[in-house]
A and B are shown apart, each in its own frame.
Chain A
Amino acid sequence: MKSLDISIQDMSKMEGHADLSVKVRNGIVQEVKIKLMENKRFFTQAIRNKPVQAIPQLVARICGTCSIAHTLCSIKAIENGLGIEPSEQAMNLKRLTMYGLMIRDHALHSYIFSLPDVFSKDSVLDFEGDKTKFLYDAFDIKRAGNKLSTIAAGRAVHAPFPVIGGFSKTPSQKELKGILPELEKAREKIFSILDVYNECEINYPRDTNFTAMCSDQFDFLSGSIKTTSGLSFEEEEYGALLSDVALPFSQALAYTFCGKPYMVGALARINLNKNALHKETKRDAKKYLQRFPSKNIFHNNLAQCIEILHCIDHASEIIESADFSEEKPPEIPRKECNGEATIEAPRGTLYYELSIAGNIVKHARIVVPTQQNQVNMEYDVKNLVQNSLKTMNKKEIEYAIEKLIRAYDPCISCASHFLKVRWV
């Protein structure tokens, strides 16, 4: 095909609304534009001049699916700035909250959004025969993750218990132990989808710099920033290394890291830090882990399912040895400071910088994973289309683009409200 004009609007099976434009002329892909309309709800302005205590709940409303990541990252930035060190119990509650999020959100993506692409079906609701089990497996795993966050943090969406310095309420031993059978049940179910993604032949190979915050606990909440190019940074250095890429067609900023495109997310984390996974996860996921490090973007799904297993294993261990008691969060000191933090949200590194004076936020900078993956995604779509022009028809190319973009698991609610796929 020499010239091509296709328009896919409002892509399905992803978080938020998404369009994208691709222009092919004389057999060459001339242009790929992913439109992210971040700041449409202007959260960085809205939280300015608000008291620090209000921030964790306000930023939760940036995104329905990963609200817990925004809540916990804002808390960490404030704690870092004000010099508050959460107790070990608070850290374990944060971990349980985060693991619940990962289990639920990864299951939503890997089963509901991406699995139909493997079986060439439109929807997980269309699965028939022995494949219907995947729909009900998805429900069981999501439910377990949802309950874990609900018990640890009060709710799976806009969790009310995490506050600056700790938790306003501590779950009882009975409540916590009560979730163990469901986690165990979810654990049994995850292996069939691991087999599917392990054997799946969809391949979107890509040389890129994978970047993630890595710790020896693989807890998504602590550690230092590592890259597959061999660099290592402390989290306070992260913000300075991100460069804004102004895209004239998008009101959202895209980012490069150390001046280059990069990829964040589960694939990056497993590529960089698989040795830190829970010992039982490493034992039982051995054959899947052999795939990593992987350059295949579609393996992001396999990586997410391995992370579900890890979250179940580490959460179960924490709960089994937990001896939690009511613990009052510390007083919040008044201090002029600049608090920076990164955590690993489901879709990758989330960065918060909050300047605080008199307990009021004076300036905010928030960088979400999807903005960081955008440049990478555009390159990938460009290559995919270029390499497919001779072998696929227009409809097949369109479907391949959607599969590729879905594999990245973009969160448009976080990054924006729009990503238009429009061929010009």
Chain B
Amino acid sequence: MAAEIYIPPVLQALVNGISRVNVSGDTIGECFENMLQQYPALKPKLYDKHGKLPKGISIFLNGVSAYPNPLPKPVHDGDKIYISHIVLGG
């Protein structure tokens, strides 16, 4: 399946400054693996040392929260996956 991953501003420096990455995969996890093959520098920001998604990011699929357990969620052609940095504010 062909999908698009939206990259939050704080991670764009790790993908040559772009805001969207075209990927393929049947699940969100597979799409992430495909993105990491293209941009390996993202890996420490996308997974913690235990291989889990860190608390500092949120994942949305077509604008809807992908939680709980986002990585096995199925992806269809044309889907949009959004990585959002958790809102810190101040």
Are chains A and B native binding partners rather than an unrelated pairing?
no
Chain A residues with CB under 8 Å of chain B are none
Chain B residues with CB under 8 Å of chain A are none
